[in-house]
Structure 1
């Protein structure tokens, strides 16, 4: 209809009407482009918001994962420190054999760091990372995953440098078949033999030092995970539920 009217105006040389018709066409095209751009902007905003929410939820799980891991390291370190104190003082009053064994058998355990990261990996793969959050929240995410990578690298390095297999390096430690145990194996500690095994005591001291350093690196990763969670919560105006109480 607009084309037919425009043709009629040209035939009658109604230039004012032609100008108005042309202006209507241009405005219509511009409006269509504007609506399309607004729709695309809204869609992109929805995608970014969803990405932030997923990353925040994943950061909460990471904090909990690292908390549990640090707690296990600290518990084992405390039991090993107690054993070392008893060896240095030759004081065995109220000693708990199971706890001393736990301190020994956890020496040299350097598990890989494997917190949840599927949301982060998908965001990186999509090329969306630079568009989500603000500079401070993105820096916190980058710092956290750098800590995880560093911790994994150090754990792998220390595994290659370590020759501690504490169960098998001392006659004071043995294992026997025990069908009632979880893995049908029971570790036996001969305290008198351990007191006489100075070489193994030195291994315990070195291994304990390494486990303390490893615990510190896990704690650093936990601290960075907590910062990431708080920063993502700040930007999205939400809560990091594992750190912040409901308002």
Structure 2
């Protein structure tokens, strides 16, 4: 109908009406594009909020996990410092034997991080990273990903070869004995054999430094998650 009226105005050379018809068409197109843009922005805002809520849930869990892991490695470093003192003094009281054994038998244990990054992975896989409107949050997520990648692919995975005693040395310094309950067996660590093992003090010192470094790494990563969650909280409150 509008096209027919436009043609009539042109035929009658009613240029004022032609101009008005033209502006009506342009205005209609502009309004249509604006409405489409508004709808898209609204959809993007909803999707961004869903991602932010998922990230916040995941990161709260990761903060708890990293806190526990840092505390565990700090505890292991403390036990190894105690073991170093015992080896230096060449004396171990009977009541301290269990702590010494625990320090030696667990010093090669470096549990992998079991962090929940499902929300972040979904965000990246869907190509929606640009939906995050806060540039600080985007930077923090990139830093977190880099830290996790480093932890998984750098020297943490290969600590076993450089952290503790060799298999042969472990065979010499530890032995199995009947469990005090009369059921099964228990493992004992031969303190005298450790004193006779060349380089034992260096091994314990290296293990202590390593666990201290891992604890520090876990706390640094935890702080990144805390900072990211703070930014997410601000975004959600807007």
- SS for the counterpart of 2:100 is helix
- SS for the counterpart of 1:92 is coil
| Counterpart check, 1:85 vs 2:85 | yes
Partner of 1:48: 48
1:35-76 Cα shifts (integer Å, max 9, x gaps)? 111111222222223223322322222221111112222222
- SS for the counterpart of 2:199 is helix
Partner of 1:105: 105
5 Å matches for 1:150-229?
Answer: 150-152=150-152, 153-161=154-162, 164=165, 169-175=170-176, 186-189=185-188, 193-200=190-197, 202-203=199-200, 205-229=202-226
How much does 1:186 deviate? 4.5
How much does 1:29 deviate? 0.9
1:55-105 Cα shifts (integer Å, max 9, x gaps)? 232222222111111222222222232233223224434624332222111
Deviates more, 1:120-129 or 1:58-67: 120-129
- SS for the counterpart of 1:174 is strand
What TM-score results when the alignment is normalised by the length of structure 2? 0.79
Q: Structure 1 161/188 Cα, relative in aligned 2: closer, same or farther at 3 Å?
A: closer
Partner of 1:142: 142
- SS for the counterpart of 1:57 is helix
What TM-score results when the alignment is normalised by the length of structure 1? 0.77
Structure 1 unaligned runs (5+)?
240-247
Using CA pairs below 8 Å that are at least 6 residues apart, which structure has the higher relative contact order?
2
Structure 2 unaligned runs (5+)?
none
Partner of 1:25: 25
How much does 1:11 deviate? 4.1
